[in-house]
Chain A
Amino acid sequence: MDFLAEGLRRAWGLLIAGDSEVYGIALLTLKVAVVATAISCAAGLPLGYFLATRRFWGRRAALTVVNTALAFPTVVVGLLLYGLLSRRGLLGGLGWLYTWQAIVVGDVLLALPIAAALSAAAIQGVDARIRRTAETLGAGSWRTAWTVAREARFALAAVITAAFGQVVAEIGAAMIVGGNIRGSTRTLTTAVALYTAQGDFGLALALGLVLLILALVVNIALQVLQGRGGGHA
């Protein structure tokens, strides 16, 4: 237990002192998480809506693929992406390997199925009459989708939170395609893993705490936004 207490003391000291390395890692983590969450939700939410509302050949298979992708191991995604981004890979020309963009791509691949599958479930939970009513009142596809999404706003906010949670806590892909390079691609999770391996529990714990605070702040922000959307039905 001593090392925990010692670690917490150290963590507190680093945070209060405004340690530039800790804050740099935190900022990079936030940047990667926000960009990856935004991209995965921008693509995943419409995909979820489409899967939930349209009847087409192969829909069930598409849902199965998305649901299976939920359980995709992060290291496997990292490995596949590594193959694609390495110099001889299909996307090697981008020169993204060991950059923060590579981590974003890996995170998007992992968060996209979450955004799509959970938003499909959220939209399926909306009374079918809402969509029919929007349509019979003359709404086009976009306005109908917006109307239905408004009814599922709490569930959809939870989807964004879940996608962010996946991205911010992800380590496997970030480690493999990011390379955990100090000052460049070191995120909170990869840093915690590194410092723990090096025996620097204090720093690892400090970064772990920052990670928790980050998740808390983002969740509170999302809840505030939800609240502004109107608590009443």
Chain B
Amino acid sequence: MLELRGVRHRYEGRVVLDLAQFSIPRSGTVAVVGHNGAGKSTLLRLLALLEAPTEGQVLFNGTAVPRRAPASLRRRVTLVEQRPVLFRGTVRENLEYGLRVRDVGRTAANGIIGDVVERLGLQALLPRRRHELSDGEVQRVAVARALALRTDVLLLDEPASSADRAAAGALYRALAAERAARPFSVCIASHQLEDAYRWADDIRALADGRLSPVTPENLFRVELAPGDGVKAARVGNIDLVVMTDRAGPVVLAVSPTDIFVSKEPLPSSARNVFKGRVTGLAIEHRGAGVHVRADIGGVELVAAVTAEAARDLALTPGGAVVFSFKATAVQVF
């Protein structure tokens, strides 16, 4: 649907984004994770066709987008910025803005606005103005304003960063309802892995403007058996021990920092202890950390250790390694 090819983007001479290829598939959900300053917002602005890359191409449905994207093309993609702004006027007027631009009739516009307002619980806010709203409310209105346009691609930059837990839940439920009603592509940039785990078919990590070879892997879609407490989930040739009351289709996630790395199995409280082989070592945090990738029973797991620990363990690609983590370290989404 939307693709970046050979993109190198500079601000004041500094390369802030360097991507050989990045695409959002039709009706797909992509999460881009990374720390602040990793280039997520720049990436979304390029995908929203608001800026043209210094070098490289943006393609929409396989066709190259001109440097100044025409409004007709921009109208097929919408971006909700990390700290969105509302225009002067009421919340209702803000929700109407994009519809008026598209010459949607008043009756049809009222119907569409009624839908999104109900989904996001914004009825009470309609007559209010921006100075009467909290940051979280502004964010919800901005998401509603974008959803009302029913674009082919929706880009969300940290959509729940100002929302409390309940509001974030409502926001994601509204997104799910909208996606159930009609297919569209979503790309969410977030530094909260939880958002990514919960939402995306595909998770990509950005670090210093590049796609990081070490994506926050350790994600497994599994079917959990009913029942409370400790249960096992089959992943590849291993059984992950997990403590949860959840059942049915879930995503299991193990943070790379929660995994102990050793050469031999160690007696400990960890219920998940797996032998495997190192498949790769990647230096992170300017040499201070190492991401250890290992093949464990046909499953690739990534553990984060300090450079010193990696040296002490004399880890080398192909060498034997043991990964251990507690059942409670396995997050369920």
Contact = CB atoms under 8 A, between A and B. Distances in A.
A147 B98 CA distance: 12
Contacts of A136: 48, 50, 74, 77-79, 146
B149 interface: yes
Contacts of A147: 87
Interface in B69-84: 71, 74-75, 77-79, 81, 83-84
A138 interface: yes
B104 to A, nearest CB: 11
Contacts of A151: 87-88
Interface string B52-90: 000000000000000000010011011101011101100
A135 B97 contact: no
A233 B77 contact: no
Interface of A: 127, 129-130, 132-141, 143, 147, 150-151, 230, 232-233
Interface string B24-47: 000000000000000000000100
A23 to B, nearest CB: 41
A138 B81 contact: no
A138 B71 contact: yes
Contact of B78 (A127, A137, A140, A143): A137
A134 to B, nearest CB: 8
A129 B84 contact: yes
Given A136-B74, A143-B101, 13 more contacts: A129-B84, A130-B85, A130-B87, A132-B45, A134-B97, A135-B50, A135-B74, A137-B78, A138-B74, A138-B98, A139-B98, A147-B87, A232-B88
A209 to B, nearest CB: 39
14 contacts: A129-B81, A129-B84, A130-B85, A133-B84, A136-B48, A136-B78, A136-B79, A137-B97, A137-B98, A138-B71, A139-B98, A151-B88, A232-B131, A233-B129
Interface of B: 45, 48, 50, 71, 74-75, 77-79, 81, 83-85, 87-88, 97-98, 101-102, 129-131, 145-146, 149
A143 B101 CA distance: 8
A139 B71 contact: yes
Contacts of B81: 129, 132-133
A138 B78 CA distance: 8
B86 to A, nearest CB: 8
Contacts, number: 62
Nearest to B131: A233
Contacts of A141: 71
B87 A150 contact: yes
Q: Which 5 A-B pairs have the closest CB atoms?
A: A137-B98, A138-B75, A138-B101, A140-B71, A136-B79
Contacts of B79: 132, 136
Contacts of A143: 101
A12 B146 CA distance: 62
A132 B83 CA distance: 12
Main DSSP-derived SS at the B contact region: mixed
A137 B131 contact: no
Contacts of B71: 138-141
A209 B87 CA distance: 42
Give the one of A135, A138, A139 with max B CB within 10 A.
A138
Contacts of A132: 45, 50, 79, 81
Contacts of B50: 132, 135-136
A130 B146 CA distance: 14
A134 B50 CA distance: 10
Given A129-B81, A232-B129, A233-B130, A138 B149 contact: yes
A62 to B, nearest CB: 20
Nearest to B90: A232
Contacts of B83: 129
A150 B83 CA distance: 20
Nearest to A130: B85
A132 B74 CA distance: 11
Give the one of B45, B50, B79, B88 with max A CB within 10 A.
B88
Given A136-B48, A233-B131, A150 B101 contact: no
Contacts of B85: 127, 129-130, 133
Nearest to A141: B71
A233 B129 CA distance: 7
Nearest to B89: A230
Contacts of B145: 137
A230 B88 CA distance: 9
B78 to A, nearest CB: 5
A163 to B, nearest CB: 24
B88 A150 contact: yes
A137 B155 CA distance: 12
A82 to B, nearest CB: 43
A132 B49 CA distance: 10
Nearest to B87: A147
Contacts of A135: 50, 74
Nearest to B88: A233
A130 B87 CA distance: 7
Contacts of A233: 88, 129-131
B101 A139 contact: yes
A155 to B, nearest CB: 14
